[in-house]
């Protein structure tokens, strides 16, 4: 005979303001199996939990229903409380009276109360079919994978390595460093970005606990927390990086110069190249699209007629250690990891959708990130800010904020967080470069909410003399060698026209290309803007709904350097909590076969996404059999099983049927 205790939470006034909790208590008191009913202002508080523990002990409760918030919020809390009182934690169920009732039916207290009664009845009906479950131990592979070698991924890898664990850092570019490496200075301290980043990059290369795989991409992921099997493709660099000393002769002498991706096509690089001088590793790769010798080989192989391209091979002739490896091929390696940190970063929004600003049309309309490259001493202009059109130094620079941000129609609904501050930074740095520069900043709201940010913003206005104009720009067009910016100063309600030498667009932050593919491989979700979704936006900001997968940096939402570093360290801390264990406690909610009912049709084998089902012979009959280590409890098998021979623990036929049967009775 089950003895069900029902614990009704007021959640402060979150529930009780809408739902008549005492009336619910009265209505469920006499339900079959219910032997104890209690109310509490905060069931999740320590006194609330103590009340549950005490009732279990004193009243010999064998089942506990907590009617409070979403089980996604506090199921673990109440299971733990029950376990402390000696009750199997899986004998606890929750009725969601807050998210699914009081918060959404606030306008109809009567309906909400009646619904609350039914939700509790449903949980009581279900719980008599709950069975005590015992988790299975999962072995832990004590190695971590970090995907993405920007500042967030670097920080995560360094922290994991510092704790003495092995970590593999995978980066698809030929160097780590990410977006931060492209920056000239960082706000609000105006530290030189590479000066603070480079030491960390070098530390990654030198740390014996870190395996660095650049020019590599994750191709597939299988398995689960503790034992992810990850296939990584190392792209062919056509350079033997063991032999290569990074002397630089090849990229200096290579005659085929092409636009540099790192400099956002504002500068050139060779076809055998490192993206920037401080690259880690300092080993070049051959760009197989542009290399003359590759083109020559392709021409030969195609058997086409006509003039042959030059064979070139200058790099090979000049390379002291003879490191060129023309026949190198992509290599796929499969490695096992216990946990994974995703730090895939961001891309700048493409501002060409705003045709009225002329980006891509007028050369002196550039993005903020492009300005960083012009400001950088290692950039294409060696730190001299010059107009792309005529190479003259700009004296009047106009900044346009929220290009793609806070614009649901043509861009993204969200705020990109970093733009207000980097516009202030640009105004300050431009003034330092050339005291004659006058900056105008068109802003919507000036958001300066970090430590030292407001002060920094003031500095841009007071010391660097930047003129802040609140309003949107309607149009940018060229006139007499200048760019005329037509906008509105909405504070004084007047049209403004500025003849600028250069216009800088604060392009929005969007998730990095391919981040959604990584998410799919890892079974984690992303939102409509393709930012990866954390397990809880407030309380589990770096965890995901896939155990053992954590998020760092701007793949979650736009963030600046300090926040990326914090998220990297936070993801590392979560990873380390896993790696510090030899075994994990798995979810016991796996599928189980009733061999007597199984018809042996093997449809379940076909639909199982985890290959967790095989067959075995029981009493002369071939029937399905579940490997609990591989089973994730999705229940696909259960839904296709005609004789209902496979059930999922925690979501059994009896439990679900009891819930359905309890409705409207």
Partner 1 sequence: MVEEVRDKARELLSAGTVECVIGYERATDGITARPLFAYSPEEADRFILDRTCVHNLARYLLDRKGKPTAVVVKPCDSRTINLLVHENQIERDKVFAIGVTCPGVVEAHWGETTEGLQSRCGSCPLEVPVVYDHLITVPGERQPRTGFPELEKLEAMSPQERLEFWQQQFQRCIRCYACRQVCPGCYCPICFVDQLDPMWVGIKIAPPENQVWHLIRAFHLAGRCIECGECQRVCPVNIPLMLLNQKLTAEVEGMFDFRPGLDAETLPPFATFRKEELEAER
Partner 2 sequence: MDMNGGPRIVGFLCNWCSYAGADMAGTSRMSYPPNIRIIRVPCSGRVDPLLVVKSFQQGADGVLVAGCHPGDCHYTEGNYYARRRFALLRPLLDFVGIEQERLRLEWVSASEGRKFSRAVASFQEELERLGPRGHRG
- Asked if 522 interacts with partner 1 (CB under 8 A), we say no
Q: What is the nearest approach in angstroms of partner 2 to the Cβ of residue 527?
A: 5
Count helices and strands (H / E) in the chain. Answer: 17, 34
Q: Please answer whether residues 65 and 59 qualify as being in contact, where contact means their C-beta atoms are separated by less than 8 angstroms.
A: no
Phi then psi for residue 365, to 5 deg, are -95, 115
CA 557 to CA 551: how far, in whole Å? 10
Pick the stretch among 50-58, 105-113, 283-291, 419-427 that binds partner 2 (CB under 8 A).
105-113
- The distance from CA 568 to its chain's CA centroid, rounded to whole angstroms, is 11
- Asked if 345 interacts with partner 2 (CB under 8 A), we say no
Return the half-sphere exposure (C-beta side, CA atoms, 13 A cut-off) of residue 123: 27
Sequence-ordered list of residues with C-beta below 8 angstroms from that of 403, at least 6 positions apart, any chain = 349, 351, 354, 357, 367, 411, 505, 506, 507, 508
Compose the 225-264 pattern: x for residues touching partner 2 by CB under 8 A, - for all others: ----------------------------------------
CA 75 to CA 44: how far, in whole Å? 10
Nearer to partner 2, 247 or 533 (CB): 533
CA 573 to CA 551: how far, in whole Å? 11
Q: Please answer whether residues 466 and 425 qualify as being in contact, where contact means their C-beta atoms are separated by less than 8 angstroms.
A: no
- Asked if 597 interacts with partner 1 (CB under 8 A), we say yes
530, 545, 597, 654: which one contacts partner 2 (CB under 8 A)?
A: 545
Q: What is the nearest approach in angstroms of partner 1 to the Cβ of residue 621?
A: 8
Pick the stretch among 100-108, 360-368, 405-413, 598-606 that binds partner 1 (CB under 8 A).
598-606
- List the 92-96 sheet strands across, edge first: 34-40, 4-9, 63-68, 92-96
CA 218 to CA 335: how far, in whole Å? 11
28, 52, 112, 598: which one contacts partner 2 (CB under 8 A)?
A: 112
Compose the 280-319 pattern: x for residues touching partner 1 by CB under 8 A, - for all others: ----------------------------------------
Query: If you compute the radius of gyration of the chain from its CA atoms, what whole number of angstroms results?
Result: 31
CA 608 to CA 612: how far, in whole Å? 7
DSSP state of 315: H
Number of residues that bind partner 1 (CB under 8 A): 19
- Asked if 660 interacts with partner 2 (CB under 8 A), we say yes
Nearer to partner 1, 432 or 659 (CB): 659
492, 596, 617, 663: which one contacts partner 1 (CB under 8 A)?
A: 596
Q: What is the nearest approach in angstroms of partner 1 to the Cβ of residue 65?
A: 20
- Asked if 598 interacts with partner 1 (CB under 8 A), we say yes
* C-alpha distance from residue 102 to each of 18, 38, 71 (Å): 5, 19, 15
SS3 600: coil
- Asked if 120 interacts with partner 1 (CB under 8 A), we say no
Sequence-ordered list of residues with C-beta below 8 angstroms from that of 566, at least 6 positions apart, any chain = none
Residue 597 interface partner, choices partner 1, partner 2, none, CB cut-off 5-8 Å depending on type? partner 1
CA 231 to CA 518: how far, in whole Å? 12
- Asked if 70 interacts with partner 2 (CB under 8 A), we say yes
Q: Is the peptide bond before 188 cis (omega within 30 degrees of 0)?
A: yes
Residue 622 interface partner, choices partner 1, partner 2, none, CB cut-off 5-8 Å depending on type? partner 1
Nearer to partner 1, 382 or 606 (CB): 606
111, 265, 377, 585: which one contacts partner 2 (CB under 8 A)?
A: 111
Q: What is the nearest approach in angstroms of partner 1 to the Cβ of residue 640?
A: 6
- Asked if 526 interacts with partner 2 (CB under 8 A), we say yes
* C-alpha distance from residue 216 to each of 295, 297, 435, 446, 619 (Å): 23, 24, 44, 39, 51
- Asked if 661 interacts with partner 2 (CB under 8 A), we say yes
Tally of CB atoms within 10 A around 327: 6
- Asked if 609 interacts with partner 1 (CB under 8 A), we say no
- Asked if 130 interacts with partner 2 (CB under 8 A), we say no
- Asked if 618 interacts with partner 1 (CB under 8 A), we say no
Residue 223 burial by Cβ neighbours in a 10 Å radius (0-12, 13-18, 19+): middle
Nearer to partner 1, 384 or 653 (CB): 653
Nearer to partner 2, 615 or 651 (CB): 651
Pick the stretch among 37-45, 100-108, 312-320, 603-611 that binds partner 1 (CB under 8 A).
603-611
Q: What is the nearest approach in angstroms of partner 2 to the Cβ of residue 34?
A: 19
* C-alpha distance from residue 287 to each of 66, 174, 218, 257 (Å): 61, 11, 20, 11
Nearer to partner 2, 202 or 644 (CB): 644
For partner 2, the binding residues (CB under 8 A) are 70-73, 96, 98-101, 103-108, 111-112, 114-115, 118-119, 122, 520, 523, 525-528, 533, 545-546, 589, 607, 609-610, 632-636, 638-640, 644, 648, 650-651, 653, 656-657, 659-661, 663-665
Residues that bind partner 1 (CB under 8 A): 596-603, 606-607, 622, 640, 642-644, 653-654, 657-658
């Amino acid at each position: 005979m089950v003895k069900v205790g029902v614990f009704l939470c007021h959640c402060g006034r979150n529930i009780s303001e809408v739902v008549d909790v005492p009336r619910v208590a009265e209505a469920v008191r006499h339900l079959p199996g219910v032997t104890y009913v209690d109310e509490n202002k905060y069931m999740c508080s320590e006194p609330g939990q103590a009340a549950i523990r005490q009732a279990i002990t004193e009243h010999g409760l064998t089942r506990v229903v907590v009617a409070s918030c979403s089980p996604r919020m506090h199921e673990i809390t109440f299971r733990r409380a029950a376990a402390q009182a000696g009750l199997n934690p899986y004998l606890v169920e929750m009725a969601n009276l807050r998210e699914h009732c009081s918060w959404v039916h606030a306008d109809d207290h009567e309906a909400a109360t009646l619904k609350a009664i039914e939700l509790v009845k449903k949980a009581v009906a279900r719980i008599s079919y709950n069975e005590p479950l015992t988790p299975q131990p999962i072995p832990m592979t004590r190695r971590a994978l970090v995907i993405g070698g920007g500042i967030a991924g670097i920080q995560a890898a360094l922290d994991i390595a510092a704790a003495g664990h092995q970590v593999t850092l995978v980066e698809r570019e030929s160097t780590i460093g990410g977006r931060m490496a492209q920056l000239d200075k960082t706000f609000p301290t105006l530290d030189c970005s590479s000066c603070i980043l480079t030491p960390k990059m070098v530390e990654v290369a030198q740390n014996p606990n870190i395996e660095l795989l650049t020019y590599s991409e994750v191709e597939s992921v299988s398995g689960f927390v503790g034992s992810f099997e990850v296939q990584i493709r190392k792209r062919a660099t056509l350079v033997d990086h063991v032999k290569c000393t990074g002397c630089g002769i090849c990229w200096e002498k290579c005659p085929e110069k092409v636009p540099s991706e790192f400099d956002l096509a504002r500068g050139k690089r060779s076809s055998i190249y490192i993206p920037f001088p401080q690259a880690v590793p300092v080993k070049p790769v051959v760009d197989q699209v542009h290399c003359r010798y590759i083109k020559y080989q392709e021409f030969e192989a195609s058997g086409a007629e006509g003039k042959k391209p030059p064979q070139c091979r200058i790099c090979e002739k000049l390379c002291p250690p003879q490191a060129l490896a023309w026949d190198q091929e992509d290599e796929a390696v499969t490695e096992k990891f216990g946990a994974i940190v995703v730090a895939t970063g961001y891309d700048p929004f493409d501002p060409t959708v705003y045709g009225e600003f002329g980006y891509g049309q007028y050369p002196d309309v550039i993005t903020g990130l492009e300005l960083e490259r012009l400001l950088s001493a290692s950039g294409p202009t060696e730190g001299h800010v010059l107009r792309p059109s005529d190479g003259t130094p700009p004296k009047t620079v106009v900044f346009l904020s929220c290009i793609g941000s806070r614009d649901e129609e043509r861009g993204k609904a969200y705020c990109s967080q970093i733009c207000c501050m980097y516009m202030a930074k640009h105004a300050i740095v431009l003034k330092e470069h050339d005291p004659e520069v006058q900056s105008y900043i068109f802003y919507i709201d000036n958001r300066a909410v970090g430590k030292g940010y407001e002060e920094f913003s003031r500095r841009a206005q007071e010391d660097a003399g930047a003129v802040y104009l609140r309003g949107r720009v309607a149009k940018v067009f060229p006139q007499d060698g200048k760019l005329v910016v037509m906008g509105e100063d909405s504070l004084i309600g007047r049209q403004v026209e500025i003849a600028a030498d250069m216009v800088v667009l604060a392009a929005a932050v969007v998730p990095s290309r391919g981040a959604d593919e990584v998410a799919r491989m890892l079974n984690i979700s992303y939102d409509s803007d393709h930012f990866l979704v954390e397990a809880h936006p407030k309380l589990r900001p770096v965890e995901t709904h896939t155990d053992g997968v954590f998020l760092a940096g701007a793949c979650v939402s736009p963030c600046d350097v300090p926040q990326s570093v914090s998220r990297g360290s936070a993801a590392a801390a979560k990873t380390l909590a896993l790696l510090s264990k030899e075994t994990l406690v798995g979810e016991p909610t796996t599928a189980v076969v009733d061999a007597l009912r199984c018809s042996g049709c093997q449809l379940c084998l076909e639909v199982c996404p985890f290959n967790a089902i095989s067959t075995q012979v029981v009493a002369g009959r071939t029937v399905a059999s579940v490997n609990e280590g591989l089973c994730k409890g999705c229940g696909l098998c259960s839904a296709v099983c005609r004789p209902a021979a496979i059930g999922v623990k925690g979501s059994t036929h009896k439990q679900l049927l009891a819930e359905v049967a309890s409705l409207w009775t």
